[in-house]
Amino acid sequence: MATSLRSSQPPKRIFAAAKTNNELELLVYDSIGESFWGGGVTAEAVKQKLNEAGDVSKITLRINSPGGDVFEAAAIYSLLTQHKADVECYVDGLAASAAFTIAMAADEIHISESAMMMLHNAWGMCMGYASDMQAEAELLDKVSSTMQGIYSNKSGMKADEVQDLMDAETWMTAAEAVEYGFADDMITRDPADEEDAKALAASYDLSKFKRGPRAAKDTKRVGGKDCTKSCFAYRPDDDKANWKLPIESPDNDAEWEKTHIRNAISRWSSTDMPNASEKSNARGRIKAAAKKYDIEIDEDSLKDSADAEDEPDEGDCLCACAQCKAGSCGICSDPDCNDANCGPACQEDSEAAALAEVERLREEFSFLTI
């Protein structure tokens, strides 16, 4: 086990590393990214510590950080995930925002019973023209989408469930972090270390994360857009968790719609849609949306596997007459059968039977003329 750095240090912000035998311990007890005053943990500093440690089989990452620069966090995350050593993380006091992202790089995450974790959407500040604001919004959406993928992969949660947590800026206790899958287990630490970690976490200025309660949203975020119920092909009720297969953009973004229409077609067979009536409506909505953009739909794309198995072959008879029901379509006695379910085979056989009867009568009453 690597030499502990925490026990000999007073409660203060620090980034340090210690190597014992074949293990490296990284102590991230500061904000992420270099601050105006020169503090903070940077990807460059982490890379330097990894290079100095050389070949190690295990990295122990200890975190007590309020977060900071998302791109520094992304770089540190990449450095740790690409390292061949096993990474084990301990959340000692706080892993919030960008620090939460770094924690996700670990193969195992342990959280102290009094610690907390927090995730949210990317945020930033911008000055300039409306175009600058729009570009900033698009960038933030892309960053949030990237983070969402990382969090979803680590926790095993669905992407839309993670997005709901990010939208709500979710603060989690140790037990909640384990419940959501962002930590593997909750641990009890030495009381002195516990108090030091809490004292340091309390010293951080977290005012930028404080915000009032949010009103419940009646939209579901997809590809950076807040989509209403009408944007989805399958929408059985008002529970947005049940809205599936987005095909319509709230701002009439044609390229977005084309992409999601194609996705809806490809994902049709793998999407759970228990409401049969609404599923049928969804099929029609996708066809209409595809027609709008001249998107071709393969004949079997919007069929269920069961539908494909039960689908009659061309020529199969679906007639409801007694002979056809008995499997004797070839001798259907009604040459004028107009049953709505009458299939091509029945019609052809009925026509053949009618022609044969006419021919028989012609021969039998050959003396008659018209």
* pLDDT score of 175: 92
The bridge status of strand 108-112 relative to strand 86-96 is: parallel
Q: How far apart are CA 211 and CA 46, in angstroms?
A: 32
**C-alpha span between 251 and 325 (Å, rounded):** 53
269 vs 111: CA distance, rounded Å: 40
For the chain, the maximum distance between any two Cα atoms, rounded to a whole number of angstroms, is 123
Separation of alpha carbons 229 and 2, rounded Å: 53
The active-site residue out of 31, 97, 112, 145 is: 97
Residues of the chain with CATH 3.90.226.10: 14-208
User: SS3 for 334?
Assistant: coil
Q: 267-279 burial, b if ≥16 CB within 10 A, otherwise e?
A: ebeeeebeeeebb
Provide block-wise average pLDDT over 10 residues at a time, the chain (370 residues): 42 76 91 75 92 92 90 92 94 92 94 92 85 86 88 90 90 92 85 61 57 60 84 92 92 90 90 91 91 88 63 48 52 54 49 57 49
**Tell me, what's the pLDDT at 200?**
59
Q: Please identify which of the residues 65, 110, 120, 249 carries the catalytic annotation.
A: 120
Q: Which pLDDT does position 135 carry in this prediction?
A: 87
User: Is 8 among the catalytic positions?
Assistant: no
Per-residue pLDDT, 87: 94
Q: What angle do CA 70, 73, 74 make, to 5 degrees?
A: 85
3-state secondary structure 26-42: EEEECCECCCCCCCCEC
Q: What integer pLDDT is reported at residue 229 of this predicted model?
A: 92
User: Quick one: pLDDT at residue 218?
Assistant: 79
Q: CATH classification of 14-208 is 3.40.50.300, yes or no?
A: no
Residue 110 catalytic? no
pTM, whole model, 2 decimals?
A: 0.53
Burial bucket for residue 334 (CB in 10 Å: 0-12, 13-18, 19+): middle
Q: How far apart are CA 351 and CA 45, in angstroms?
A: 86
